Structure 1
């Protein structure tokens, strides 16, 4: 699928036929199809299962490698604005917290606290709780096709992230991990392990992907219908935002500041450029936590603000 040998729209065999042809159980094939569907690689419907349209990066030009950006240029990065709250429309990078299965997460937390008690308030293994490392390993194997060992996985306690170390670095990184990490948030790590192993995590991801695809498509349609300003729309293959490029005559930073006064939080595209006056002009519109019903009125207001800036 990724290299194009199965082009978009190709119909895949049914689970029974595929299971018989490769010599595995039908349940195995069904599970693989579910994972591929969750990840957006295939699209099942009543007429069958077909390969989804996948975005492919441009081939890398290795004859003219891009030089590394000098560290001094990082000093040109400026804050794009105050952090947007979830009550502001079009805030990029904001998910839909109301969609999180809070009751299931609370059950996971309560369960591990009942079982582990106050012992979980202390420090655990610096590289992370074994149960969570195993859960992450299984998730990576099913969702990403990655093959690794629990020893390669390191849990970072801040907001609970993880690293997958290259195998040759595992032993060399051990003293660094032991010194720098303290294995905190044990109850949250164990709760997340239970949350993942119970299937809640993958189901939540699947729900959010469907929600984001629906909102992305609705925002594209709303821009075409309600934003009567010359523009082009790019992005949408990843993340939770669309980029709306505007004519150079529209001052995107002034437009974003005016929008904030009307409870909207798009980011000016020019703020994301390391090179001043690079021609990157427009707005970054987030759709993660903005309901479809809010698209049309806010886009009409944005169009009015553009005209007011003339």
Structure 2
């Protein structure tokens, strides 16, 4: 029985194993009466001490999840399925979580080629320049900068950011409409708290990142998935019998499929929102890296009073910065500031001042231009490798923007078992189905991220993927 173990985590191993089994029992993956492996067999399989397994089993036994039967072994107890954790939230994954390393013989495998999406080229973050700006800011900043800040963020960053967004994305806003957040995840969470209440209706793309399923479902909202095609959300399928609180879209680069929402669908979406009294939440997570055609203007620029615009610097610069933002219609600003204050008071001030200087002095534009050339080169190389290894057996989607693409393989279903085989061969890919409501439709597609991989690693990863699939 495979269970992910993160030996770099501060969580004790027995606790990780206990939690993995607990979740499987609650979600019904392990059902009442199912027999568990012996402590000796499981310890051997996971390459841990038998004592660790015994501790995990004892904790499960104490809480009633499992029971021992004399002479027969250990079994899942009856009455442990919890259906209430189901609503609209995807079932627990049977594939490794994005952040978990591959374990071989109890050690992290440094040779793993991880095609994780959403990760920029971390080795090319402008560390020296950022450090020089940080030193200057810390030396020259007023004492006020080291105290408590405003929940909406530093006025220096909001002013610079408003000008940048008007120029680069066609966003219509004033600095007062901006709320600086600790990454896009906090921005999306704040929007959920701001706009949702019990039993709210929300329209989302299908597929869309699995985290969205969870964040919007937790406040009790009912999610209505709208299918996407190669051009994003199919707006002809917007329901006429409900009035959702908002429609969540990724119009400039649909995640994960990659479509660009055309103007006809944008107009149709705005008209729908006006007719139903809904907001539109636009997540613009990586559209700076567009390789074909002119840059795409934001949806927000078409209707600033109805669209909530979310952006992040995690894909442009680094996830470690934890810096994102929301552009809000005027009617939502005060309530959003209050929610932000109650969440974490404010986003770290010094980082905001450094970022403001980085943008104002033109470094951000130069960094984006440099990285765009690099990512285009890596994308083209990846496509060549896929074509070389799979020929007409692979269809490539969503490659015009961003730092990932979709590879579609007719006749191949990326089941947890197949993904495990692929990972055992030293390469990790990500199934689109994890992010889908209708998983069967997406079972033959995988997400391949390339932003943080050199050409040599890309080549090796596709070679290993090809070898894995040829065994099927």
The two structures share one fold, judged by TM-score above 0.5: yes
Which residue is equivalent to 1:233? 396
Which one of the candidate residues 136, 142, 158 is aligned to 1:133?
158
How far the C-alpha of 1:101 sits from its partner, in A, is 0.9
Please, which of 400, 405, 414 is the counterpart of residue 242 of structure 1? Answer: 405
**Which of 370, 373, 379 in structure 2 is aligned with 1:207?**
370
Decide whether aligned partners of structure 1 residues 95 and 256 sit closer, same or farther in structure 2, where only a CA change above 3 A counts: farther
- On the 8 A contact 2:395/2:408 being kept in 1, the answer is yes
Give, in whole Å, the separation in 2 of the partners of 1:80 and 1:128.
38
2:453 maps to which residue?
A: 290
Aligned pair 1:164/2:304, yes or no? no
Match of 1:102 in 2: 127
Residues 78 and 102 of structure 1: CA distance in aligned 2, closer, same or farther (over 3 Å): same
1:273 alignment partner in structure 2? 436
1:73 aligned to 2:85? no
Q: State the 4+ residue runs in structure 1 displaced beyond 6 angstroms.
A: none
Higher strand share: 2
Q: Distance in 2 between matches of 1:118 and 1:261?
A: 54
Asked if 1:154 is matched to 2:169, the reply is: no
87-96 or 157-166, larger mean C-alpha shift: 87-96
Residue-by-residue CA offset, 1:140-177 (whole Å, 9 max, x unaligned) = 01101222111101111351211111123334545444
- Structure 1 regions of 5+ residues with no counterpart? 1-70
After the TM superposition, which of the residue ranges 170-179 and 229-238 deviates more from structure 2? 170-179
Distance 1:236 1:77, change over 3 A: farther
1:303 aligned residue? 466
Residues 286 and 167 of structure 1, relative CA distance in 2, 3 Å threshold = same
In the TM superposition, what is the alpha-carbon distance from 1:109 to its structure 2 partner?
1.0
Q: What root-mean-square deviation, in Å, do the aligned CA atoms of Structure 1 and Structure 2 show? A: 2.6
- Tell whether the 8 Å contact from 2:113 to 2:457 is kept in structure 1 after alignment: no
If the length of structure 1 is used for normalisation, what is the TM-score?
0.68
Question: Alignment length, in residue pairs?
Answer: 239
Q: Give the number of the structure whose residues are more often helix, by fraction.
A: 1
1:142 paired to 2:167: yes
- Distance between the aligned counterparts of 2:393 and 2:156, measured in 1? 53
Deviations 1:163-204 (A, max 9, x none): 111123334545444444512411111111111111111111
Q: Report if the CA contact (8 A) 2:415-2:443 is conserved.
A: no
The structure, 1 or 2, with the larger RCO (C-alpha pairs under 8 Å, 6+ apart) is 1
Q: What displacement does 1:113 show? A: 0.6
- 1:105/1:191 contact within 8 Å kept: yes
Change (3 A) 1:126 1:306: same
Instruction: Tell me the TM-score normalized by structure 2.
Output: 0.46
- For structure 2, the 5+ residue unaligned runs are 1-85, 102-109, 184-321
Partners of 1:113 and 1:187 within 8 A in 2: yes
